[in-house]
Amino acid sequence: ASSPQVRIEAIEAILVDLPTIRPHKLAMTVMHGQTLVIVRLHCSDGTIGIGETTSIGGLAYGEQSPESVKLAIDRYITPLLVGEDASAVQAAMQRVGKQVQGNSHAKCAVETALLDALGHRLGLPVHALLGGTAQTSLPVLWTLASGDAARDVDEGLSLIEQRRHNVFKLKVGRRPVAEDVAHVAAIRKGLGDAIQLTIDVNQAWNEAQAMEGMAAMQELGIMLVEQPIHGRNRRAMARLSARFDVPLMADEGFNDAMDAYEIAQLGAADILALKTAKAGGLAAVLKAATVGEAAGLGLYGGTMLEGTIGSIASAHAFAAGPAMYWGTELFGPLLLKDDIVQQRPVYRDFALQMPAGPGLGLALDLDKLAHYRRDPDRVRPV
Ligand code: MUC
Ligand code: MG
């Protein structure tokens, strides 16, 4: 019998190196650029889906690097998917899930490309494939992370003036606690009490430092404290959550629905930083959100500092899921000096505006892709 199905024909994973607009200082690394893993998924009907994933500072944030993502896709995921039904996204991802443990970033980029291709085939945006949405924009904060308080205040004031952001995340944990507290206090003073601030420690404190730091941040009126201590130390996270009124948000200590379940059982956090790359895709991040919501946890739309494709993919998922009471941080494209899509995303009135159109609503700029890709010999002609 003949099969009318549209099949997956080929999957390309392309490393793209882009410069950042300024150094981005986190507790564990300083970023001067970002590497995007861009996926182009070719289907037998001629549609090409696009997807993206990133890491932060190579292997500084987590266990998956851009290079390991590319290897997982090229060597393990692609052979499982070539010839499969391109429209049966869940079936394809279940097939991958059986044979490939972990590697959530690679799965995320491939699932995104499958959804983008399906959206183009059906003439529907990705959020509609995920159940549809009422939200056409998502509030987005900005991270002030130059390391210099005066420069951060200037940057913040100018962004408030432009109505681009009015909530800011500060990166701490590189310096002694008292110095970080002084840094945060200086920025609070410079931006004014009406502006909400969060801090992200990226796991840098031990429990004693976290007790000192969280007490001081609570005193300063900080909105939430993100991952103050190692993410695997859930008992300590639970002790800190119980001790302080300032909400504790799990980031490195939370990836997927199973983590949400355990965090809820232990009381290890008040808020979950949802990231498509950590969860293993758009469907998986919504599953984690649903578990968190059912358990009474707060939800926040996080980023792995993806470029436009990855950030917009996250936006489609977040807009289709439960309300993000704590907002989102989908500002990744704004940290990059240049882009590889034809239209850069629109940030207006402190929010990311959802693009219109089928799939992700994006198109690659093939000249820019050729310019920034690491292995220019392997471009597949369109
Ligand atoms: C992180 O740990 O949250 C997200 C925003 C930002 O500035 O850094 C990332 C990573
Ligand atoms: Mg974080």
Q: Which domains occur in the chain, in start order?
A: 8-123+363-374 (3.30.390.10), 129-353 (3.20.20.120)
pLDDT the model gives residue 133: 87
CA of residue 248 relative to chain centroid, distance: 19
**Is residue 255 in contact with ligand 1, taking CB distance under 6 Å?**
no
pLDDT the model gives residue 377: 57
pLDDT the model gives residue 135: 82
Amino acid at 136: T
**Is residue 328 in contact with ligand 1, taking CB distance under 6 Å?**
no
* Separation of CA 9 and ligand 2 centre (Å): 37
* Separation of CA 252 and ligand 2 centre (Å): 7
Mean pLDDT by 10 residues, the chain (382 residues): 81 97 95 98 98 98 98 98 98 98 99 99 98 89 95 98 98 97 98 97 98 98 98 98 98 98 98 99 98 98 98 98 95 98 97 96 98 71 44
**Per-residue tokens: 2:** 């003949």
Q: Model ipTM?
A: 0.99
Pick from 107, 85, 110, 86: which is nearest to 97 by CA?
Answer: 107
Pick from 10, 41, 46, 53: which is nearest to 114 by CA?
Answer: 41
pLDDT the model gives residue 89: 98
Nearest protein CA to atom 6 of ligand 1, as residue: 143
* Separation of CA 87 and ligand 2 centre (Å): 34
Max Cα-Cα span within the chain:
72
Distance of alpha carbon 44 from alpha carbon 24, whole angstroms: 41
